[in-house]
């Protein structure tokens, strides 16, 4: 059982690229609860494991991206049997699976914090495709599903000496109630303090699944421990 941790979050925006469609950017400060354990898992360890897994895929199985699905709802027995057969061919280890699923916990905690901040939630709703009212009623709520692949972790140019810039990009597809909701590119760095409270996500670029003109860029400006200025 993870104990919720209080985070003080400041949101600045939104900014319009043309400067004419939205009011001037405002600063919104909020307090949100999240699982510090889930956030600190981060994504960088998964990225490191993907390097060796990618070689296994290329050498013996397929050149196509192998997607890893994570959800807060149980998958069907048919899906489970299909996926077990797929991963058995390239010997996915329990540690590989643990690192891959840790991404889900980090992303779920990160999205929960974003949803608790009204200003951030309002901006996200302009870009993300909402699930239908029927699916919400049928599933008794909203279930989140993230998809990401071991062969989809391109490396970024090295940051200047001493800088803590993003290292890799991870494409993620978000679905709500099995309906495509958004496509995001995550700029990833390590989760060394104080970045452990943001899952090591330095920036996110999100695109609407059907309207390519709807895009959102969210960048981390700063992070610091509680009690510091």
Peptide bond into 194 cis (omega under 30): yes
pLDDT digits 0-9 by tens, 144-203: 788 887 665 666 666 555 555 667 888 888 887 677 778 888 888 888 887 888 888 888
User: CB 167: neighbour CB atoms within 10 A?
Assistant: 20
Q: 143-165: string of b/e by CB count within 10 Å (b at 16+)?
A: bbbbbbbbbbbeeeeeeeeeeee
Asked if residue 70 has pLDDT above 80, the reply is no
30 occurs within a structural domain = no
User: What contacts 24+ positions apart, CB below 8 Å, involve 82-88?
Assistant: none
164 occurs within a structural domain = yes
Closest CA to 179 of 111, 115, 216, 133: 133
User: Which pLDDT does position 121 carry in this prediction?
Assistant: 82
**DSSP code string of 206-227:** EE-SS-TT-EEEEE------TT
The boundaries of the domain holding residue 169 are: 36-219
24 occurs within a structural domain = no
pLDDT digits 0-9 by tens, 201-223: 888 888 888 888 888 888 888 77
pLDDT digits 0-9 by tens, 4-34: 777 888 788 777 666 555 566 677 788 887 8
Asked if residue 135 has pLDDT above 50, the reply is no
Q: Which residue has the higher pLDDT, 133 or 89?
A: 89
Cα pseudo-dihedral 89, 94, 96, 98, rounded to 10: 140
User: Which pLDDT does position 163 carry in this prediction?
Assistant: 54
82 occurs within a structural domain = yes
Q: Is the CB of residue 35 less than 8 Å from the CB of residue 2? A: yes
81 occurs within a structural domain = yes
22 occurs within a structural domain = no
If one counts the domains in the chain, the total is 1
18 occurs within a structural domain = no
Taken as a whole, the chain contains a residue count of 229
11 occurs within a structural domain = no
Closest CA to 195 of 43, 46, 47: 43
User: Which pLDDT does position 156 carry in this prediction?
Assistant: 66
DSSP reduced 3-state for 116 = helix
Phi (first) and psi of residue 12, to 5 degrees: -115, 125
């Amino acid at each position: 059982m993870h104990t919720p941790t209080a985070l003080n979050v400041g949101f600045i925006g939104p900014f319009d690229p043309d400067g004419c469609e939205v009011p001037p950017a405002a600063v919104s400060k909020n307090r949100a609860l999240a699982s510090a354990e889930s956030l600190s898992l981060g994504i960088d360890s998964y990225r490191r494991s993907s390097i060796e897994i990618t070689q296994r895929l290329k050498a013996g199985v397929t050149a196509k991206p192998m997607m890893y699905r994570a959800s807060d709802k149980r998958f069907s027995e048919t899906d489970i049997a299909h996926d077990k057969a797929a991963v058995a061919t390239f010997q996915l280890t329990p540690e590989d699976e643990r690192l891959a699923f840790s991404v889900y916990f980090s992303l779920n905690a990160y999205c929960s914090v974003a949803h608790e901040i009204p200003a951030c939630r309002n901006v996200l709703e302009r870009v993300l495709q909402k699930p239908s009212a029927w699916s919400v009623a049928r599933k008794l709520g909203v279930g989140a599903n993230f998809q990401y692949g071991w062969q989809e972790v391109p490396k970024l140019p090295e940051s200047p000496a001493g800088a803590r810039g993003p290292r890799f990009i991870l494409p993620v597809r978000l679905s709500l109630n099995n309906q495509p909701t958004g496509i995001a590119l995550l700029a990833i760095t390590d989760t060394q303090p104080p970045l452990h409270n943001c899952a090591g996500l330095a920036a996110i670029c999100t695109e609407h699944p059907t309207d390519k003109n709807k895009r959102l860029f969210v960048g981390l400006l700063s992070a610091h421990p509680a009690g510091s200025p």
